Amino acid sequence: MKKTMSVLTGALVATAVSAGAASAADTLETVKARGELICGVSTGLPGFSIPDEKGNWTGIDVDVCRGVAAAVLGDAMKVKFIPLTAKERFTALQSGEIDILSRNTTWTHTRDTSLGLNFAGVNYYDGQGFLVQKELGVKSALELDGASVCIQSGTTTELNLADYFKLNGMSFSPVVYDTSDQTVQGFAAGRCDILTSDQSQLYALRSKLDDPSKAVVLPEVISKEPLGPVVRQGDDAWFNIVKWTLFAQINAEELGL
């Protein structure tokens, strides 16, 4: 399947590259000269980007970078993964430390218009939710007035949380961490009543608990979080390559390749 996808991705993206050849963008040249794609990912989030004990990364965000490497270098394995916290991710892309950011990142108006970056599309439609310890007996997010909330800094999650509690006349105290591992450990150690994040990530984090069955995801989804890969603005050829690699992968998935 991987091979078929690489061929399909390569063929589709070759068109995008040749169409933009006159304004050959720096990133493409840099990646070709280096012989390796540098891809910014999470510090470890099952399903999106996580390394195994041998340092092999897997997940849907990892697949995006493998697809781009297949398209421009002819080898899906020629990728170096750089783990980044939510706070570090945009600076890493702006500064050129990474060629592409593929890290469960929400496409928002502010990020798209003020950071000098472009979102290439959506590879997962998410939405923010809440994880609570079952023993609290809470059935709805509207019962969370006064809760302490484990949350990760530098995310859309922080602002959505404040909006949701304000709108519903509730108060909360934030307990802020930098990485998802710290956040889930804080939750497991009882430093907060609830953990909030994108729903997919709640399930991923719950799977890291000693006994996942002791925590439940509440039914409310309080925001829209379209996640996707990001590149620097002003590099149209590279933008097209990433965008059409993603589209080719989505079509390949639909075709069952």
Closest CB to ligand GSH among 105 and 240?
105
Closest CB to ligand GSH among 102 and 157?
157
Q: Taking the complex as a whole, how short is the minimal distance between the CB of residue 155 and ligand GSH, in angstroms?
A: 3
Q: Taking the complex as a whole, how short is the minimal distance between the CB of residue 89 and ligand GSH, in angstroms?
A: 8
Closest CB to ligand GSH among 51 and 78?
51
Question: CA triplet 203, 61, 17: central angle to 5 degrees?
Answer: 160
Closest C-alpha to 247, from 71, 51, 56:
71
Closest CB to ligand GSH among 6 and 43?
43
Q: Taking the complex as a whole, how short is the minimal distance between the CB of residue 22 and ligand GSH, in angstroms?
A: 34
Residues in the chain: 257
Closest CB to ligand GSH among 73 and 184?
184
Find the helix or strand (DSSP H, E) in which 173 lies: strand 172-177
In the chain, the amino acid numbered 41 is V
Q: Taking the complex as a whole, how short is the minimal distance between the CB of residue 36 and ligand GSH, in angstroms?
A: 22
Q: Taking the complex as a whole, how short is the minimal distance between the CB of residue 128 and ligand GSH, in angstroms?
A: 8
Say if CB 106 and CB 226 are below 8 A apart: yes
Which residues does 8 contact at the CB level (< 8 Å), separation at least 6? 248, 251, 252, 257
Q: Taking the complex as a whole, how short is the minimal distance between the CB of residue 119 and ligand GSH, in angstroms?
A: 11
Question: CA triplet 91, 249, 62: central angle to 5 degrees?
Answer: 40
Q: How far apart are CA 149 and CA 25, in angstroms?
A: 44
Closest CB to ligand GSH among 9 and 180?
180
Q: How far apart are CA 49 and CA 47, in angstroms?
A: 6
Q: How far apart are CA 176 and CA 23, in angstroms?
A: 44
Q: Which residues bind ligand GSH (CB under 6 A)?
A: 42-45, 85-86, 104-106, 152, 155-157, 179-180, 197-198, 201, 205, 225, 227
